[in-house]
Copies of this chain bind each other. A is one copy, B any other.
Amino acid sequence: MQSALFLLIKVKFMETFSKITQSFKNQSFMKTIGAKLDLVDDGKVIISVKLKEDMMQQHGFGHAGVTFSIGDSAAGYAALTKMGEHQEVLTSEMKIHLLSPADGKVLKAVGSVLKTGKRLIVVKSDIYSIKDETEKMIATMLGTMVPSIVSS
Contact = CB atoms under 8 A, between A and B. Distances in A.
B99 A63 contact: no
B91 A64 contact: yes
Contacts of A65: 29, 33, 65-66, 68-69, 72-73
Interface bin, chain A: 35 or more
A94 interface: yes
Contacts of A24: 58
A106 interface: no
Nearest to A63: B29
Interface of A: 23-24, 26-33, 53-59, 63-66, 68-69, 72-73, 88, 90-100, 114-115, 119-120, 122, 140, 142, 144, 146, 151
Given A59-B151, A65-B65, 9 more contacts: A27-B58, A28-B54, A29-B57, A31-B54, A65-B66, A65-B73, A95-B142, A97-B115, A114-B140
